[in-house]
Chain A
Amino acid sequence: MGADVLEETTLQKRAWEAAASVPDPEVPCVTVADLGILRSVTIEDGVAVAQVTPTYSGCPATLAIEMSVEAALRDAGFKTRIERVLAPAWTTSWITEEGRKKLHAYGIAPPQESSNSKRALFGETAVTCPQCGSTQTSCISEFGSTPCKALYRCNDCKEPFDYFKCH
């Protein structure tokens, strides 16, 4: 029995690594594990069960992510099943520290708390420019190239950049 448990732990670890390496289709600099979209991978009766959670209600990438995770597990030799879990709901605080660093290095400002207040009409939140670090930035559009991003411009270095909205 001890050997079985060991075997299963190793398998589970291998399955997690395979699934966790899948890049996000819209923000390929980070993986689904970095973003906290991949909740868990467990081995149940020889099947690798991956729990995946959607980010935004209308995120068109949800299905693509599920299919990529499924394919990655299959390529690693697993029989697999994907479960979509809604609770607890994903928030940007599920993004790992590693994920935030990768976003920043890629030129996307990681989410900042308190930037999503309903009362903040005309959005007066300080978002830091990922290029030069200035906090003198302005929001060009609340809605960017994907549902998870807003478009900002740095008033100092003048570069436009994506901001990963706090959610």
Chain B
Amino acid sequence: MTKTWRLTRRKFLIGLGTLTGGVAVGLPLGLPYVRRQAFKFLAQGGIPAGSIGNDPLLWFQFTADNLLNIHMTKVEMGQGVHTALAQLAAEELEVPWDNVRVHQAGTLRGPVDSFGTAASASISGLYIPLRQLAANYRMMLSTAAAEHLETQVILENGVFTASNAKTITLEDTSKLSLEWQAPEEDAPLKSISQFKLIGQSMPRVDVVSKLTAQPMYSYDMRSSNSTTYYGAIARPPVAGAQIDRVNNTTTKAMSDIISLVIRDDFVGVVAKTREIAQDAIKSMNIDWTMPKLINDSDINALLTPTSDNAAELKRVGNSSSALNSEAVILSEYSTPMASNAPLEPQSSLAEMDEDGVMHVRTPTQFPSQTRSTVAKAIGIDENNVDVIPTHLGGGFGRRQRAESAVEAAILAIESGLPVHVGWTREDEFLFDRFRPPTKHRLKAVLNNKGQIDALEHRQSSGDVIFTEIPAIAASIAGSDFGATRGIDPVYTIPNLSLYAHRAKLPVDTSSWRGLGLLANTFANESFIDELAHLADEDPLQFRLDHLSGEFGNLLRTALERVADMAQWPGKTGDGVGMGIACCRDYGTVIAEIVQVKIVDNNILVPKVWAVMDAGLVVNPDGATNQVQGNIIWGLGSALKEAIHFENGKPSASNFGDYPLLRMDEAPDMEVTLLPSDRPPQGVGEPAIGPIPAALANAIFAATGKRIRKLPLTI
């Protein structure tokens, strides 16, 4: 029987982050002020992790053998979030690790998340709220156990022991009552010195399943109570083309299908096998209304960082007058479009039950949004849509939308059958939502001591977050905080100004790992390196000379440590060299050194060192794995990844045109996480930032050639 949850206080938990605050400052102050505030808020405060509700019984459930079942709002895409969140909860509930079981919540079961899983914000955002929820539940259970045993109790290893030596397990205690009352005051949280699980490299809860062929991804999902059928959708020749006319539905291949669904904007079939469905779709003759066919030149023309309508993000001192000098140094950098290319193409299984509830198993990073989209597409109430996120075979931002969820739901409701729709790799590339291309124009003036007197960074980028939020919110925010992520340099510079120019591109761009962090850090940290050389200073020392304040000091420690590990500056010249770069991403700082070896104009990377301070790290081995993964992503991006457009089509249709970094190209990596008592900060993305700049800086050290364009080629 389900228990009812009753609140005795209006507010059970406080301090759950929501995205109001900063942005809502009154307009009378003027738009530029609001924009700067919004930028500051987002740059410093970080992104909220969403509210998590206040009902512990939605999150926690004790079952036989005193097991603690935790229902997760966040989705697991390999970042280890289920394990880390379980550590937070089990810590405060005093449950032994072996008794912890983790489940994915869906929109009709378990806690609902108002945000989603993104921006490296899950752990930092839930560090306090989830522990508080667990601690309060522990307090309620303690009170109940004490009443039951009629004396004071101590909780250890999942069991309450009374002073008279009687015991009761957490599981049995949880069954003592059907109704629970929230405590008047929040229970005290453990201090760091009391932690037993937080800060330990607990083995990940999803690892064994992933290595033993368990069905856990969307592509593995099949109906549990009846035969699963397969769907295929007519794909336009280029993104943005609309169906004009469906001419031929009587081909031989069509005779094998079970169901054909034609709507204004959608043609799909259902068949017994994936291949039959795909062949049938291929055999159809559809006229498409084509959009304007985009080429690289169209995109380039829109990417001009000097335009007048740039939004001012930050202004310190007066850089425009300082930069009006003859000694101004100017450099321009650019990064191309890139693909997310998670290794598992997206797919969804949709199945309607007798009660009219549509169950959709799908790889979404934003279950609540997917629920709304599905409900709207098939015309049923949101409360009848059960979106159950599966494990994701990679997310990286691309799984913000789950188009296949809608496609499968349409086919399922029309055919009355459970339908699985799986995208092909070709679909993934054609309908990717790419990392936007960027251009950066940086200017600086050095003072007579060789230090930076003034710096200006004008950035131009396609949309990142603006493709996801209403136009009105975008107009108030003024600049796309996804595109500008990482643009604020960590250095103390007396005259500094930052501008963002929004390029409204005719291609679909969106979130890519770290959003703008990689592009902006590539520009900033390459430029700093150029300035260091012009000032005739060692690039490490030059950076250290410009650091101050809290984050400056954190970075100083990280830079000195990484230099120590790599024995900076190492051997230089003759095609061998090291490059250094660093960044701050919200509350995380990271410094990285890349070693390069140039052989016959090929850029080889034997080794990379990284030092990260991400506050208290909940699971150090998991965080290390994330840093390693980001180094590989950063190198892939620095050396290979680029999407071009020709006649409306992206340059890649499969990995043959878009090779990823391979094992034989991957460097040896040494990663250090600095100990810290600061609360946990993001670990899933920051390490991607400095890699391309560090590599470009290493190439300069090795060859004297400065490359300002990604991917780097000699």
Do A and B belong to a common assembly?
A: no
